[in-house]
Amino acid sequence: MDKSQAELLRIYDRRFASATEYRRRIWQVLAKDYFQRLIPPTAAILDLGCGYGEFINAIRAGAKFGMDLNPSSQSHLAPEVTLFQQDCSQRWPLGDGHLDVVFTSNFFEHLPDKASLGRTIEEAFRCLKAGGQLIALGPNIRLTGGRYWDFWDHYLPLTESSLCEGLVVRGFKIEECRPRFLPYTMARGPEYPPGLLRAYLRFPFLWRFFGQQFLIAARKPGNSG
């Protein structure tokens, strides 16, 4: 284990260890009540920056992959999830057009620079089938302001507009772009009941008041046939 992986372990442990079960329940709601409608149950999907697997464990899919540098990720993933423990900006160990969906949540801001993000987007584009989809969720610095920097490992500030532009210039077509979706973070603050999240998801007008994370759905052009 190198120095960067050791630091990643310490950050995850400090930030999430006490809230592991809460985060699991919250992501079960998000997967079932919102994201599953975007993801066919037969899809091949990769969770980019999968962490402890809260999303990829909860979603129904035909083939599941996760990618994360955290050496402890494997112990949290369901048996059917294949983990790629690697730098996401390097070539992924998947063939061209292998995936139906690439999903990522609260990950792009941890990349060191736009060049790394660009290479990562290019790998997602390569590995997606024609008609495949990238779904990205993350903090919108326009709405979070200085709180964006409250986390030691936040490096790359993004808005919904900047990420959409980066996706478009690398070949994606934007299908959905919401500046406001979820509140900023589950890592700190009170642990609200999952039922409150279900209600929040049912009433999008609330997102305008509380949402500080963007949600983007982009598609690789073409017909998968």
* 58-81 pLDDT tens trace: 999 999 999 999 888 999 999 999
Percent of the chain with pLDDT over 70: 90
Scored b (16 or more CB within 10 A) or e, 35-68 reads beeebeeebbbbbbbbbbbbbbbbbebeebbbbb
The band of 186, judged by pLDDT with boundaries at 50, 70 and 90, is low
pLDDT of residue 76: 93
**Residue 174, CA atoms < 13 Å, CB-side half-sphere:** 16
Give every CB contact of residue 120 below 8 A, 6+ residues apart in sequence.
Answer: 48, 88, 89, 108, 111
User: With 60 as the cut, is the pLDDT of residue 187 above it?
Assistant: no
The band of 190, judged by pLDDT with boundaries at 50, 70 and 90, is confident
Q: Domains, the chain, ranges and CATH?
A: 3-219 (3.40.50.150)
Helix, strand or coil for residue 198? helix
The band of 11, judged by pLDDT with boundaries at 50, 70 and 90, is low
Tens digits of residue pLDDT in 19-40: 788 889 999 999 999 999 999 9
Average confidence (pLDDT) over 186-208? 86
| Residue-wise DSSP of 27-78 | HHHHHHHTGGGGS-TT-EEEEET-TT-HHHHHS--SEEEEE-S-TTGGGGS-
Mean pLDDT of the chain: 92
pLDDT of residue 111: 97
Average confidence (pLDDT) over 204-225? 92
The band of 7, judged by pLDDT with boundaries at 50, 70 and 90, is confident
pLDDT of residue 2: 66
Cα 89 to chain centroid, rounded = 15
